[in-house]
Structure 1
């Protein structure tokens, strides 16, 4: 295969993986010493199970270590840096295979070439998804403002034929959601009297990192009581934030949207900070 066709196939697979919304990792060779089959700039795409699906970063001597680094990058959301070196060089530097020092994880290169190679592995995680139920003023203001927050925006409600296609990244003519979606997902119920109960049921069934209800505490309490009587566990309803958003004394749809995005950002970044602390 020519270098041009190889690059085209790599780019095509990269685009397909990005469009799928599934996590993956990109491995890039950044430095080599002595004889190695891959050279600086070589790249590979790694799936969540460690499979290298496209690209080239060397033969079997490198693929196992790179695959494991890809799994770690995707799982933790943090880049990995690995250095493959022959056994005698590791011993001379006083490190063992699998050991990590100053952010560099060392691995043994058992290939006859006895070269060394440093590889940077970067996770590519799906954008957090914001699903807004409803087509009223608050729903539209929230979807519009969220475009500035690096969120994939879905606007969902029955009867959306009159909305422009650019109102969100995707429009959905129902409240049904994919329960297997990857990444963080935030659901805001902004139906405001038009299918509140159906939207709340759909949100609870889908599961999310954040579910919020635009409406008064009294209105939500009435809905919650009805859902509890129908068999919805009370603890599930206790996780719903109602009224939605931080209390900034918001009045207009735009102000309510701002309060919701402020709360959502706080939750989103708190999770990011905790994950980085736990790594």
Structure 2
């Protein structure tokens, strides 16, 4: 049976939407940042209609889906890269020059959360496109299997952290099922997601865990232990050739001073500190230790 042009286009868009969903899920699993662009409104003749979607990778290329031709592409890619960079969604209104003039705006203007762009295509239609950044969940990498480490793995997912626990094979069974577990302290050097490291080894591989933590890219390294213990371990690490600049990355004793006593309370104080580090500057003010 032969399909008409509109029916063929609708079928292509439906297939595209299916592909976009599968691609987005795969990128999420791979911890790859991307932006999802969705056409939310069209006026007059436009190639894409409301509901059309595209996945845009961090480098700006359209990884899958479709939101129309070149008229929309450059403005959407620019917005997508900015959204991935700052983590904020964007609403783009692509309009012909005469309509922009009627609104008293120019291409590039931002009014009440709407970014305006000029449609230079012959169709002279209007498209509003919502661009949403999808960033990997921050990872809480736990080294050690102490009671505090287990409590961190139990509490971390409740505040948005994806937990990965590194410990000896026989100790990994103590962690909750939702926590990914790894035998030993080998941490990949880099990660697409923000990583926050918590070392809670309690004398079982302290130096090995800290060396691994220092070799990995992360936003924060928290060590569960006393000032005296941290000073001793830093001295040992210094003897192994690790620079003072690197050793300054170790923050300890870990956690905010909440008067915590139990492992669960200590874990809570550490997570509170990690949230503080993660959100620093996002509310327009600096944060300080209590």
- Asked if TM exceeds 0.5, the reply is yes
What corresponds to 2:5 in structure 1? none
Aligned equivalents of 1:34, 1:158: Cα separation in 2? 63
Q: Normalising to structure 2: TM-score of the pair?
A: 0.89
Q: CA deviation at 1:55?
A: 1.4
Aligned equivalents of 1:130, 1:58: Cα separation in 2? 39
Of 46, 49, 57 in structure 1, the residue corresponding to residue 67 of structure 2 is 57
Of 121, 124, 132 in structure 2, the residue corresponding to residue 114 of structure 1 is 124
Aligned equivalents of 2:41, 2:191: Cα separation in 1? 36
Mark the runs of 5 or more structure 2 residues left unpaired by the alignment: 1-7, 286-290
What corresponds to 1:235 in structure 2? 245
Give secondary structure in 1 for the equivalent of 2:141: strand
Report how many aligned residue pairs link the two structures: 275
Q: Counterparts of 1:248-259 in structure 2 under 5 Å?
A: 248-259=258-269
Q: Please give the root-mean-square deviation of Cα atoms over the aligned residues, in Å.
A: 1.8
Q: Deviations over 1:123-146 (max 9, x none)?
A: 001101000001121111111111
- Runs of 4+ with >4 A deviation: none
Give secondary structure in 2 for the equivalent of 1:163: helix
What corresponds to 1:247 in structure 2? 257
Mark the runs of 5 or more structure 1 residues left unpaired by the alignment: none
What corresponds to 1:41 in structure 2? 51
CA contact (8 A) 1:51 1:67 kept: yes
What corresponds to 2:3 in structure 1? none
Aligned equivalents of 2:189, 2:281: Cα separation in 1? 21
Q: 1:118–1:63: structure 2 CA closer, same or farther, 3 Å change rule?
A: same
Of 191, 216, 225 in structure 1, the residue corresponding to residue 226 of structure 2 is 216
CA contact (8 A) 1:155 1:168 kept: no
What corresponds to 1:176 in structure 2? 186
Give secondary structure in 1 for the equivalent of 2:250: coil
Q: Which stretch has the larger CA shift, 113-122 or 87-96?
A: 87-96
What corresponds to 1:92 in structure 2? 102
